[in-house]
Amino acid sequence: MDNLRKEIDCIDKELIRLFEKRMEKVLSIVKYKYENNLPILNISREEQVLSKNTDHIKNELFQKSTHEFLKNIMNISRSIQEEQFKNYTDRSDKNRCIVGFQGIRGSFSEQALKEYFGENTKTKNLNEFEDVFKAVKNNDIDYGVLPIENSSTGGISEIYDLLRKYGLYIIGEKCLKVDHNLLVTKGTKIEDIKEVYSHSQAFQQSSEFFKAYPHWRLIPYTNTAISAKFVKDKNSKTKAAVSSKKAAELYDLDILESNINFNQSNYTRFIIIGKNIEVSNDCNKISILFSISHKPGTLFSILKYFAQNNLNMMKIESRPIIDKSWEYFFYLDFEGSLRDEVIKKTIKLIEKESIYFKLLGNYKSNKI
């Protein structure tokens, strides 16, 4: 028995080697099909493969099994081709699409956009977060990139509210390390500064630094990069901005103090929003939105399904329901794929328990 098993192990090893070699050829074929606009499925070719190879079987006992074996191999090949074909199409579509972000050049949102979609992506900058949602909704842009959570200061409530308001979907995410810097015009010294401009999140993330300068006026601005441009345009030594090193380079400003954020592992999670839900094989994170009745135990009735089905809940965020004091919408992220039957069953149970429910997206997690 041991000798036979050793022989089978050797044969399995060779089968795996040949399987991998075959699938590498499949990848070459799908590239040719994509470039020449040919269909993935070629029924006559598959029938030809089945007939000419099953004829070589010497032992009739294996005739039917060999037919099934080859058919399964070709099904796997076709599945790999379909996935790769989709990847080629997605890449091509992404290259042609227009992606919006809030702010101007040099903003962290633009950086997240470039890292997710690529340097050559067509972009459109917009003034406010809501403008990005409106532009996607009205088909002025294909996707939008927005910050939703920071590792130092938590969730950005406005984005959660806008997700519900506009009914758009999360199709991806990008985690970006954020370092804030104090930017000034050339020749400015720290004692010259009277006013500092930046986004409120940047001020919060740098709050420890500003405790040493209580006499400075911290003036909230719509975006860190816009703050940098404002300081450049005003050309006053009394004004400074909190922004990125990229913004300092773009707007020819000096970095007076680097990395002023109190958390040196300061990350911002950006979401990519689109008009339609997009699900692929590598999607491993799900976001949902729901509301429940204001009664004891109702939240537990939702959360118990995660424990019962061994699902990892990654985040939960609550937002108040307007005109209903002390009642909330809950935004929840958890690991999983909509192609998993357990996940689909869990989502149906949550939806059944909820007063309001919306699936926000199933996308690939970008872990730091």
171 and 51 together in one domain: no
Listed residues 95, 127, 151: the one ending a domain: 95
Kindly report the length of the chain. 368
143 and 272 together in one domain: yes
294 and 322 together in one domain: yes
271 and 288 together in one domain: no
Do residues 24 and 34 lie in contact, with contact meaning Cβ atoms separated by under 8 Å? no
Would you call 290 a catalytic residue per the annotation?
no
Q: Would you write out the chain's pLDDT as a tens digit for each of its 368 residues?
A: 888 888 888 888 888 888 888 888 887 787 777 666 666 666 667 677 777 776 667 777 777 787 788 888 878 887 787 777 666 556 545 557 899 999 999 999 999 999 999 888 999 999 999 999 999 999 999 999 999 999 988 999 999 999 999 999 999 999 999 999 999 999 999 999 999 999 999 999 999 999 999 999 999 998 899 999 999 999 999 999 999 999 999 999 999 999 999 988 899 999 999 998 888 888 999 999 999 988 888 899 999 999 999 999 999 999 998 888 888 999 999 999 998 999 999 999 999 999 999 999 999 999 77
- What pLDDT score does 296 carry? 87
Tell me the Cα Rg of the chain: 27
217 and 297 together in one domain: no
171 and 296 together in one domain: no
286 and 267 together in one domain: no
User: What's the CATH code of the domain at 292?
Assistant: 3.30.70.260
Q: Is the dihedral of CA 323, 326, 133, 110 positive or negative?
A: positive
269 and 234 together in one domain: no
- What pLDDT score does 88 carry? 58
Paired tokens of 207: 């709050």
70 and 114 together in one domain: no
Do residues 81 and 40 lie in contact, with contact meaning Cβ atoms separated by under 8 Å? yes
Total count of domains within the chain:
4
Q: At what angle do helices 298-308 and 341-353 cross, to 10 degrees?
A: 170
Report the distance separating Cα 240 and Cα 184, nearest Å: 5
Q: Which domain holds residue 295?
A: 280-368
From residue 254, give the alpha-carbon distance in Å to each of 31, 113, 234, 313: 49, 25, 14, 43
Q: Is the dihedral of CA 66, 71, 75, 77 positive or negative?
A: positive
Q: Which of 101, 129, 230, 270 is catalytic?
A: 270
Whole-prediction pTM value? Answer: 0.70
User: What's the CATH code of the domain at 37?
Assistant: 1.20.59.10
159 and 270 together in one domain: yes
208 and 322 together in one domain: no
123 and 247 together in one domain: no
Would you call 268 a catalytic residue per the annotation?
yes
Q: Which of 185, 268, 329, 330 is catalytic?
A: 268
Listed residues 95, 126, 150: the one ending a domain: 95
User: What's the CATH code of the domain at 210?
Assistant: 3.40.190.10
Listed residues 30, 64, 95: the one ending a domain: 95
Do residues 84 and 28 lie in contact, with contact meaning Cβ atoms separated by under 8 Å? no
